[in-house]
Amino acid sequence: MQQMISKEKRTQIAAALKDNPNATRVALEIGGVSHTTVGKIAKAAGIALEYGKRYSAEKRQQIVDALKDNPNASEVARQIGGVTGGRSLEDCESCGHRAYRTQSRKSSPRDPR
């Protein structure tokens, strides 16, 4: 059974989306609606949603600056904290820098190291 959302709640969602165009965060903030429903309301209202912007602009700039000095994304992620190597690598590549990730080699009983 489909549940109807009141006009007041739709207006509240649209207003929240104008401040923060992230469907998941708005759904959690408002409560009682799914991110899919928020996305449908955004589409009907002509509001473009942002996807994949996990870090603030300041944090992304900090990542990019650190990667200019050290192209090892895993090391940069550890230095900055709260960032994964893969994600910082994506941030780096979006700005045109080349970076690399280190992969830890798991020891096996037969490994001579």
Q: Count CB-CB contacts under 10 A for residue 51.
A: 9
Averages of pLDDT over each 10 residues, the chain, 113 residues: 80 90 88 91 88 71 84 82 67 58 54 53
Alpha-carbon span 81 to 59, nearest angstrom: 10
Q: Count CB-CB contacts under 10 A for residue 96.
A: 7
Q: What is the pLDDT of residue 4?
A: 84
Sequential DSSP letters for 56-72: -HHHHHHHHHHHHH--B
Q: Greatest CA separation found in the chain?
A: 68
Alpha-carbon span 27 to 30, nearest angstrom: 5
Alpha-carbon span 45 to 32, nearest angstrom: 19
